[in-house]
Structure 1
Amino acid sequence: MAEAEIRRQIDRIIEGLAAKDLEGLRRVYAPDVVSFDVEPPLQHVGVQAKLRNWERAFAFFESLRYEVRDLTLTVAGDIAFGHAFARLGGTPKHGPATSGMWVRVTYCFRKIDDAWLIAHDHVSVPLDMPGGQGVVDLEP
């Protein structure tokens, strides 16, 4: 049952991004969420900081979509974690549509007041060590 509830929260992220629904997204994150996202700075602390990331995406894209693939979850008591591949794509306001790039994502959930909320997420791309650049053309 917990795994199904957590998967539903991931679905809410997908739905919230497609609808550009910040309030819907707010209900997925813990108030004190710590996010290691692909955009600077190194960490975003609190739900407002996380929502500002999504606001920037909403400002950039006319329409967008978020895809999550190969989500694996582990649940123990009131804590759960999952890992997956994800990509954010869509049609920018000033440019052609893009399918986006695949990233690695880790979700850490806490059950707070009977709701599974994201307490931490970490998004990354592999690094080409000699070149010092992120590798953004890989596919799962």
Structure 2
Amino acid sequence: MLARYAQAVLARDVDAFVALYVDDLLVFDMWGSWSLRGIDAWRDMAKSWFGSLGDERVVVRFDDVGGTVAGDLAFGHAILTYAAHDADGTVLRSLANRVTLGLRRIDGDWKIAHEHSSAPIDHATKQAILRR
């Protein structure tokens, strides 16, 4: 699932990206919106995100991956690091966040039903900590 996520982001492929999710998903995204409900809202977010990249590509790396499967339900967690690369492959910037995923198996394929991203907040500055 995470490899397909990373491939869709790298390709800036909105259709491949939203195909990873159920139609009635709920996302607690740490970027801009308190929550996003439904595939149409998530598609709009992906179009905006990918459209804002210009010539940049985003490479997603995942670390500390874990999870549990119980029948047709699963949950997992990981640290995702997003690195923006220019057309020559030079890393321009990067950030990391924590993600927890709730998945459902539908017709043999795992789909994300709930996604929750977060980052710790520095108590003194009230700023998100986006590097491990």
Q: Deviations over 1:81-120 (max 9, x none)?
A: 0010002221379xx8434111101011011222110000
Identify unmatched segments of 5+ residues in structure 1.
1-8
Separation in structure 1 between the aligned mates of residue 93 and residue 59 of structure 2, nearest angstrom: 9
Distance of 1:123 and 1:35 partners within structure 2: 8
Deviation at residue 60 of structure 1 after TM alignment:
2.3
What is residue 55 of structure 1 aligned with on the other side? 47
Q: Within the alignment, does 1:117 sit opposite 2:105 as a pair? A: no
Hey, what's the Cα distance between the residues in 1 that align with 2:94 and 2:49?
12
- Distance in 1 (alpha carbons) for counterparts of 2:59 and 2:44: 17
What is the match of residue 102 of structure 2? 108
Query: Percent same amino acid among aligned pairs?
Result: 28
CA contact 1:60–1:92 (8 Å) conserved in 2: no
Aligned length: 128
Aligned equivalents of 1:117, 1:125: Cα separation in 2: 24
What residue identity is the alignment partner of 1:84?
A
- Is it true that 1:13 corresponds to 2:9 in the alignment? no
RMSD value, Cα: 1.8
Q: Is the partner of 2:92 in helix, strand or coil?
A: coil
When normalised by structure 2's length, the TM-score is 0.87
Secondary structure in 1 matching 2:3: helix
Q: Which amino acid aligns with 1:114?
A: G
* More helix per residue: 1
1:23 is displaced (CA, Å) by 1.1
1:25 matched residue in structure 2 = 17
For 1:32 and 1:49, the matched residues in 2 are separated by 10
CA distance in 2, matches of 1:78, 1:97: 38
Q: Report the TM-score when normalising by structure 1.
A: 0.82
- 2:82 pairs, out of 84, 88, 102, with 88
